[in-house]
Structure 1
């Protein structure tokens, strides 16, 4: 069985085998932890078997966040469609001449799977490009990059051939930093600029170090901090075996964020910029979010949604509508 031939019945039988129950007891929409009583150790075994049997990268199932059989099958199907190459740009429905391209940058410790399913909420003539940093997902064999400028270089090289049509950038948390720095790079080099830049759950750059330095925290403190922030599945933080696989990714990404030196007197970018955040985000205050107005000549305001630092996981459709409207109104 490969991702090209995997069926939901194959997965049903696999999960039933691990749980030692009959396949019909694994309903499509039954929640793994609540209804099937799958704990972190059983989930690790299921993930390992699925990854080995279906030929997807190690840790991919855990990172997907799938909580039902139907979600797991949809995820594996998307892997076949969206990850047929080993580059950092995943395009769920690639178009050669789209009306617009939207590049989406993920958070620290995350992957392009943050944006899984988003394509269906955007116009059909848009080409969504989900960026994947090295060291995770289908790029797991590549070394991690813990320096902001080097990751910007890596992404710049990858997306350069795709900048012929109008395009926009949207980044969440660490992804917002990367999207901003990549926009600065294009501006300084005289390259094509995005018609719009969206930054999510990330405060405007400022001089001086922040109080928290996650990349320096001991393991227990870091795991506790991640629990308080939200967004990481319990099976990742609560299971030692799973955590030790993902910890290097978190530490590398947090090193990138914590060691980045903000520009002393940045020139406002000639790009419309919108800010997005959760109303209950414990990491970023409103003053830091509104401070982005100094970094653009066209500040488009702050939009807040119910939720915490990972509010966007609950509001993909609303956020997609807001991004679509913002990009269209910013188009020349």
Structure 2
């Protein structure tokens, strides 16, 4: 017997059919009872249809505890394949009772490997949690996410159980945007907030279109040239056509996320300590754009710049770890 394919869009359509609503109303993370107003009778109807469509045991959905579409999708995958869904959190040195946690977000086209080896430079009682977007690394079989809000939803679900002690966010380039938006999400939903937010090589949100174009719409030759100019990508990735074909979709997806994100209009400054980092020779982000983060927080902790370009972080792990540790401890004092 062939195992049915578990497609989240098919699940969404099923729920939409029961609720007689629009697909955009049933987001991956919308809570069934709180956000979608699904009562017990509607939930029973949904459960029955899901069990029938995917051949899972009667009442399995009801006892699964799934409260969102994303959780229901993960439950079905686990039930039908005997595997748990891949987790976007990499904890190289898990601690049972860490004094603090630092969540780190990677750049466009990158992965958690940007922060490989960083843990040794932080306090022993801190736990580093590296976030990995789908479509790369251990999540390479999952579909890419090219929408900022959807990726924030995805990461929010992953980190929610780990916000039980002081924590901070650090993001590089695209990771800065995700860290900022995730902080805004936590604030809006009344969840614990980071003690400190660090943004690196990414300017504060601006309403106007960036002057250097939209990379996700560039031709292959244009995009490869643009990446060479920015730096940070190994030559074998940009020069080898076979390697490029494998990684190009990841770059285009991440750049689409950046290019299509709509900055909030007149956002309230975050009640979170915020520090900014950058490279002296970054061709994408100038000092003025980095300093403009000052208006997005009630507690601006300044700008630190290091020798290097957009990917200066690769050559300054130890001093950055020292600066991040000091900033988090100062913010928590």
TM-score of the superposed pair, with normalisation by structure 1:
0.74
Q: For residues 212-251 of structure 1, what are the structure 2 equivalents within 5 Å?
A: 212-251=213-252
Displacement of 1:91: 0.4
Contact 1:90 1:129 in 2 (8 A): yes
Secondary structure at 2:289's aligned position in 1? helix
Look up the match of 2:195: 195
State the distance in 2 between where 1:274 and 1:97 align: 26
Displacement of 1:308: 0.1
Secondary structure at 1:135's aligned position in 2? coil
Q: For residues 159-170 of structure 1, what are the structure 2 equivalents within 5 Å?
A: 159-170=159-170
The one-character-per-residue Cα deviations of 1:157-185 (angstroms, maximum 9, x if unpaired) are 00000000100000000000000000000
Look up the match of 1:293: 294
State the distance in 2 between where 1:97 and 1:180 align: 26
Q: Which runs of 5+ in 1 are unaligned?
A: 1-83
Deviating above 4 A after TM superposition, structure 1's stretches of 4 or more consecutive aligned residues are: none
Displacement of 1:85: 8.4
- Count residues in correspondence: 249
State the distance in 1 between where 2:319 and 2:287 align: 21
State the distance in 2 between where 1:228 and 1:242 align: 19
State the distance in 2 between where 1:96 and 1:185 align: 27
Q: Which runs of 5+ in 2 are unaligned?
A: 1-83
The one-character-per-residue Cα deviations of 1:211-232 (angstroms, maximum 9, x if unpaired) are 2210010000000000011110
Give me the CA root mean square deviation: 1.0
State the distance in 1 between where 2:326 and 2:85 align: 31
State the distance in 1 between where 2:178 and 2:85 align: 22
State the distance in 2 between where 1:207 and 1:107 align: 21
Look up the match of 1:99: 99
Q: For residues 245-284 of structure 1, what are the structure 2 equivalents within 5 Å?
A: 245-284=246-285
Secondary structure at 2:180's aligned position in 1? helix
Look up the match of 1:36: none
Q: For residues 101-180 of structure 1, what are the structure 2 equivalents within 5 Å?
A: 101-180=101-180
Contact 1:107 1:172 in 2 (8 A): yes
State the distance in 2 between where 1:239 and 1:131 align: 28
Displacement of 1:96: 2.0
State the distance in 1 between where 2:289 and 2:264 align: 16
Look up the match of 2:9: none
State the distance in 2 between where 1:259 and 1:318 align: 34
Displacement of 1:285: 1.1
Contact 1:97 1:165 in 2 (8 A): no
Displacement of 1:97: 1.3
TM-score of the superposed pair, with normalisation by structure 2:
0.74
State the distance in 1 between where 2:98 and 2:109 align: 30
**Which is greater in Rg?**
2
Look up the match of 1:325: 326
Look up the match of 2:208: 208
Secondary structure at 2:143's aligned position in 1? coil
